[in-house]
Amino acid sequence: MRKILIAAVVGLLIAVALFWWRERASGGDNKRQTRLPENRVEPESPPQPGVSLQIDAEHEVKTYAGTPLIFSVRFANTEAMNAAAENSANAYAIQVIRAAAAAGKIPQERADAKISVLNQQRQVRPLRLGDAVLSWEKFVHFAQRLPDGKVQPLAWPLKIASLPQTPTLTLDATATAQLDYLLDPAAAAQINPGEYEIVAAVDVPPGPNVAGDHWSGRVEAEPVKLSVAPRTSRLAPQEEENNDLQVAQYYQAAQDWARALEAAQRALAANPRSIPAQILVAEIEEAQGDRPTALQAYQAALAEFDRQYPDSYEAPRYLIRKIRDLSDQR
């Protein structure tokens, strides 16, 4: 998702930079007549989804044989995000031009011409996948990229954590979606130690069954590098903590709260100053309805954050919001 959001921000910066480049390129030449471009024509085909893959919330993962894993596939409508960002940049540029014209810095005629161009809004088109016949999660596939560059279907038995609430996914400039797939400990134990490149793809074959306003085609996420090491009888304290955190997150995604809490508490025992472990304990207690214990755990995580990062310029907003919300419910 980080890459998708970065792409949207880059689109906004490019739009602003392009406006100022045009402004400087035409500056001082009041005699030249500004030509209005023809009305832009949007392509008729639906926008392509932006897809990203993470394993245990990372793009490069080191784990041990037998440690369960979470494969997260995220979806966004990057075209709509970029269109909305450009429209926002143009709206800001219009304000700047109007202020400049009011101050006499540019001729009103030239300002009006530029505003006329910038007022041509880019269409923010929705992206749709799936229907009542074939739900959208059915189009997600996983593969392994081999060292020679070839790609083969991933043979690992991944199970979706929870099915989508609706069979059709609709994404605009603000909506995103995520599907989590679980690899349980027994299946993870069957993976041979080694280096892997895992790819997620969305593949919608074109055909008469695909509605005209639905996207069809194939798009792949950037591969995730997965390193699987043999499990040793005893891990170093830091490795033990990280492994227990992975296990806790897996059982949290599987909503097996007892095992999730047990693993999170093991991670906290391995490192009592672990903020991620303390947050996991809080989230699991909250999910089970034990709000007082969850509040105490969030407060402990915040206190530990303040001890470790006393000069931090960025407040831990997630912890602050959680503490506020649970305090309000008391």
Distances (CA, A) of 243 to 193, 239, 251, 265: 16, 6, 13, 12
Distances (CA, A) of 164 to 75, 138, 249, 252: 13, 11, 20, 18
Please check whether residues 238 and 203 belong to one and the same domain.
no
Average pLDDT (180-207) is 94
Please check whether residues 106 and 211 belong to one and the same domain.
no
pLDDT in tens, 126-175: 999 998 888 999 999 999 999 998 999 999 999 999 999 999 999 999 99
pLDDT of the residue at 65 = 92
Which pTM does this prediction carry? Answer: 0.79
pLDDT of the residue at 16 = 45
The owner of tokens 């390193």 is: 227
CATH for 195: 2.60.40.10
Please check whether residues 292 and 202 belong to one and the same domain.
no
Q: Is 240 a residue whose pLDDT tops 60? A: yes
Please check whether residues 5 and 73 belong to one and the same domain.
no
Answer for the pair 51, 133: CB distance below 8 angstroms, yes or no. Answer: no
Residue 124 pLDDT grade (very low, low, confident, very high; cuts 50, 70, 90)? confident
- For 326, phi then psi, to 5°, come to -70, -35
Helix (H) or strand (E) holding 18: helix 2-26
Please check whether residues 50 and 188 belong to one and the same domain.
yes
Residue 234 pLDDT grade (very low, low, confident, very high; cuts 50, 70, 90)? confident
Number of domains in the chain: 3
Average pLDDT (97-111) is 92
pLDDT in tens, 27-68: 444 433 444 444 555 556 788 999 999 999 999 999 999 999
12-16, 106-110, 115-119: least confident range: 12-16
Please check whether residues 5 and 56 belong to one and the same domain.
no
- For 202, phi then psi, to 5°, come to -110, 120
pLDDT of the residue at 301 = 94
Answer for the pair 86, 114: CB distance below 8 angstroms, yes or no. Answer: no
Show which of 164, 198, 231 is a domain's final residue: 231
Question: CB-based contacts of 142: which residues, under 8 Å, 6+ apart?
Answer: 71, 153, 154, 156, 158, 181, 198, 199, 200, 201
Please check whether residues 149 and 53 belong to one and the same domain.
yes
Q: Is 18 a residue whose pLDDT tops 50? A: no
Please check whether residues 323 and 262 belong to one and the same domain.
yes
Does the CA dihedral 55-57-59-63 come out positive or negative? negative
Distances (CA, A) of 227 to 64, 65, 306: 8, 10, 33
Please check whether residues 132 and 256 belong to one and the same domain.
no
CATH for 257: 1.25.40.10
Please check whether residues 111 and 2 belong to one and the same domain.
yes
Residue 143 structural domain = 42-77+126-231
The Cα 139–Cα 134 span in angstroms is 9
Q: Is 233 a residue whose pLDDT tops 90? A: no
Please check whether residues 224 and 150 belong to one and the same domain.
yes
Question: CB-based contacts of 256: which residues, under 8 Å, 6+ apart?
Answer: none
pLDDT of the residue at 208 = 65
Round the average pLDDT of the chain to a whole number and report it.
86
Please check whether residues 73 and 217 belong to one and the same domain.
yes
pLDDT of the residue at 3 = 52
pLDDT of the residue at 25 = 42
Show which of 93, 125, 157 is a domain's final residue: 125
pLDDT of the residue at 297 = 95
Q: Minimal CA–CA distance to 23: which of 34, 11, 12, 9?
A: 34
Answer for the pair 100, 111: CB distance below 8 angstroms, yes or no. Answer: yes
Q: From the CB of residue 220, how many other CB atoms can be counted at a distance below 10 Å?
A: 16
Show which of 231, 265, 294 is a domain's final residue: 231
